[in-house]
Amino acid sequence: MKKLFTIFLILLAIGCSNEDESGDAQVTCSEEFIYGLSVEVRNATTASLITSGIEVTAQDGEYTETLELATDVYVGAGERSGVYTLTISGDGFVTQETDAITVVLTADNCHVVTQEVSVALVPN
């Protein structure tokens, strides 16, 4: 009887594994929406935040997106990995382009890892 019970427990453990038919572990992702880019824009002279009159554009190959202002930062590339170049422009400031910024997926492939960027725009 002990042998039968032990075999039952082993079969139960195998049947309840956290793997799908391919042998890959199953992952349950949250419903949270994560932005890949968070960009803080400051005046290079005064160091004050600039939250109006600014356009922040992200480009990854053929994909282009204008970031949205969320409180004090511009956000975009929601749940989208890629290698982005940012162009930041606004009246009264010199347009600035960033180096490549890489947005990657989390280890479980559920979300992206937010890249926080700070840009200082020089007044004209």
State the pLDDT at residue 17.
46
Please report the domains of the chain, with CATH numbers, ordered by start residue: 33-121 (2.60.40.1120)
> Residue by residue, what is the 3-state secondary structure of 5-74?
HHHHHHHHHHHCCCECCCCCECCCCCCCCCEEEEEEEEECCCCCECCCCEEEEEEECCEEEECEEECCEE
pLDDT in tens, 63-81: 999 999 999 999 999 999 9
Residue-level pLDDT at 114: 98
Residue 115: the pLDDT is: 99
CA distance 46 to 74: 19
- Per-residue pLDDT at 117: 98
Give the pLDDT score at 118.
98
Q: What is the structure's pLDDT at 27?
A: 86
Q: In the chain, which stretches have pLDDT less than 50?
A: 8-9, 11-18
What is the pLDDT at residue 51?
Answer: 94
